[in-house]
Amino acid sequence: MFSKTDVQNNLSEVVDILDNILGYSKNHNDFSGQISYDCPICSHEIKGLDKGDGKGNLEINYKLGVYKCWACCDTHRTYGVLRFFIKKYGSKEQLKKYDLLAPEEAEIYKKKYNPVKLPKEFILLNSVTTGFKLTHHYKRAMGYLRSRNITDDMMQRHHIGFCYTGEYAGRIIIPSYDDNLDLNYFIARTYDERNKLKYKNPEAEKEVIIWNERLIDWDEPVYLVEGPFDSIFLPNSIPMLGKTLSEKLFTDLYEKAQKIIIVLDGDAWENAKKIYSKLNGGRLFGKIWIIKLPIDKDIADLQGNLNNFEMKQLV
Ligand SMILES: [Zn+2]
C-alpha cells in the first residue's frame, strides 16, 4: 500500500501527466485536487486553434478522478471519468503511468474487467469431427441453430459453439472478442426448450464491453441492436445486451461512430426513441437514424432483411 508521502508524490506526478497533455494549468488547488486547463475540444475542435483558447474552462479533479469543461460539456459531452480523458488525449505510456499512480481508479476498472473464459466444455461447431456429428448432442445443438436460420458461415464468423456437459450443458455459446481478439464476454442460450432459464451468462460486467468489437468497422454505418442473435444477421451491428445503452457503449459510439442506425425489437419502440434522443447531439447530431419494426418482430426473425422498413430521423 502507499504511504501518505507516496500519495502526495503520486498526485504531483498525475499533475505532471496532465501538464504534459494539456500544457500549463490555469488554476490549481492542490488541497482539493482541482486544476483547470484550456479545453482541447473548445480550442482545437470547436475554434480550430493551434494552441489553447486561454479560457481555462476544463476543470479536472484528480483526487476524485473526474473532468468537465464548463463551456462544451453539454454540446460535446466533455465530462466524465478522468481515466477515459487520459486514454483519449494522452499517449499509451501516459495512461499506463496514470494507472500506476491512481491505483484505486485503475482497480475499479480491473475489477470490472473480470477476465472471462470460455467454459472448458466448449466445443466450436466448426471444428467438430465427422464422427461427433453423428451424436445426438451435436444434432440437437445444430437443430436449434438451423431452426433460427443460422448458417455455417455465420457460425464461423461468430465463433459459435456449444456445451453438452458442465455448467453450461445444453447451451449454445456465442463469444464476444474485443479489438485485440481477447474474449470479453459470452452468452449461453439453451437449446433445450424445456429449460426455463433461456440465458445463463457469465458473471462479468457486460456494461463495460463492446460486443464483438473485432467485427465493427467504425467508418461504416453502425447498427445498434438488442441481442447477439440480432447481430449475427446484421453486419456491423452492436448488440446492447438489453434495451438500454451502457455508458461505455454510449462513449464509444460518441467517439467513434460516423452514422448510427437504431433497430430494436418491435416491442421496444419507446426505448429506441429514448436512445435516439440521447445519441442525437454534439458531434453525432444529425447522424442518427432509426427503423421501426412490427411489434412482434426482431432482426433475427427477419433474418436481417430490413429492406421493407423505412429508415428515418425523428424531429
Ligand atoms: Zn470545452
Mean pLDDT by 10 residues, the chain (315 residues): 65 93 91 91 90 92 86 85 90 91 62 75 94 94 96 96 96 93 93 91 81 96 96 96 86 92 95 93 92 92 92 92
Residues 171, 190: Cα–Cα separation, whole Å: 4
Q: pTM of the predicted model, to two decimals?
A: 0.67
Instruction: State the distance from the centre of ligand 1 to the C-alpha of 85, rounded, in angstroms.
Output: 12
If you measure from the C-alpha of residue 13 to the centroid of ligand 1, how many angstroms do you get, rounded to a whole number?
A: 24
Measured in Å, residue 73 CA sits from the centre of ligand 1 at 6
Cα 277 to averaged position of ligand 1 atoms, centre (Å): 22
Would you state the pLDDT for residue 2? Answer: 53
Across the beta sheet with 58-61, the strand order is 28-29, 34-37, 58-61, 66-69, 79-81
The Cα 74–Cα 102 span in angstroms is 27
**Distance from residue 40's CA to the centre of ligand 1 (Å):** 7
Alpha-helical runs (H) found in the chain:
4-22, 40, 73-76, 82-89, 92-101, 103-112, 136-147, 152-158, 228-233, 247-256, 269-279
pLDDT of res. 111: 52
For residue 161, the model assigns a pLDDT of: 98
Q: How many Å lie between the centroid of ligand 1 and the Cα of residue 29? A: 20
What's the 50 CA to ligand 1 centre distance in angstroms?
15
Residue 236: its pLDDT value, please? 97
How much distance in Å is there from the Cα of 80 to the middle of ligand 1? 13
Quote the ligand 1 centre to 123 CA distance (angstroms).
Answer: 50
Distance 57 CA to ligand 1 centre (A): 6
Residue 83, exposed/middle/buried by CB under 10 A (0-12, 13-18, 19+)? buried
Query: C-alpha cell of 143?
Result: 437443430
